Structure 1
Amino acid sequence: MTDIPEGFRPARIPAPFVEANGPLYWRDLDGGLSLGFRVERRHTNAAGNLHGGMLMTMVDMQLNCALNYQLDTAQFIPTVAANIDFLAPANIGDWVEGRTEILRRGGRTVFADCRIRRGDGELLARANGIFKLGGSEYGTFDPRAAFS
């Protein structure tokens, strides 16, 4: 299966890590960003399921990209802490997508939740993270270039 759900478009995230683990796709959900990908063999563990490391990668990308998109900032937003609960498996060919909710924004800190689901709606993982809003010392990432 290589079909991509309606509304998703290729994400143009200029990062070698994403290039090696993608492709990722995106869509706007009422001003929020949802990332998704189709599970390929290279994303799996020895049991043939989606590898937990790839799922954690998806969580981190979903959280960070959604923050850039929703806060409309071109500053890179590093992850300070992240927690994940793995709830169900995904298999080769499954569509996987995420959603993010910003819980609180303080001076230089953002708290956010993330849910990752299979295309059939099954919850694969729930996660949360703490992120640091900084200046140019962390670099830049322009969501308008990646998600347009």
Structure 2
Amino acid sequence: MSANSPMEGFEVFPTRPGFIRHNGGIFLHCERPVIGMHIAEEHLNPLRIAHGGYLATLADTAFGAVLRRQYDLPVAPVTVNLSVDYLAAVREGDWVEVEVKVHKFGRTFISASCELKVGERLAVRANGIFTVWTGAIPAIA
């Protein structure tokens, strides 16, 4: 399966101009609170495993996508805190899925966690605190 092809049940992740568009190949599950992607060469560090910063980006992106869709927000919430535990290497060609669980959606903050897995193998665990953006939303250029 090519890096541009989603697994069954996934669709292309809709992105606005900006950072995440340059990290493409991300797919959003049609029903579940999950994003997925194939790890490509450009996601690797010098050890030829997925760069930790990129895996943190995937976790943060999953949080934003799932929270935005689940709570019908105009934009993804803003990350206040993100903690990431790296538990296993992720390699080129791996299909990774990041599943989000929302623990609390409060008046001010949202608490959530996620797991990044390759098959059944847990590679990354992340926890985050988020807040809903209340400012103006910039026009798309």
1:86–1:126 CA contact under 8 A, matched in 2? yes
Partners of 2:124 and 2:28 in 1: CA distance: 18
The structure with the greater share of residues assigned to helix is: 1
Q: How many equivalent pairs are there? A: 136
1:75–1:135 CA contact under 8 A, matched in 2? no
Partners of 1:134 and 1:41 in 2: CA distance: 34
2:27–2:35 CA contact under 8 A, matched in 1? yes
Query: Are residues 15 and 123 of structure 1, via their aligned partners in 2, closer, same or farther at CA, if it must alter by over 3 Å?
Result: farther
Give 4+ residue runs of structure 1 displaced > 2 Å after superposition. Answer: none
Partners of 1:39 and 1:136 in 2: CA distance: 34
Q: Deviations over 1:17-50 (max 9, x none)?
A: 1221112111134xx4311111100000111001
Partners of 2:93 and 2:122 in 1: CA distance: 16
Secondary structure of the corresponding residue to residue 93 of structure 1: coil
Which range moves more in the overlay, 1-10 or 72-81? 1-10
Superposition pairs of residues 1-148 of structure 1, within 5 angstroms: 1-2=1-2, 3-29=5-31, 32-118=32-118, 120-137=119-136, 139=137
Aligned to 1:146: none
Q: Return the TM-score normalized by structure 1.
A: 0.85
Gaps of 5+ in 2: none
1:77–1:133 CA contact under 8 A, matched in 2? yes
The Cα shift of 1:76 comes to 3.8
Root-mean-square deviation over aligned CA pairs: 1.5
Gaps of 5+ in 1: 141-148
Q: Return the TM-score normalized by structure 2.
A: 0.89
Secondary structure of the corresponding residue to residue 58 of structure 1: helix
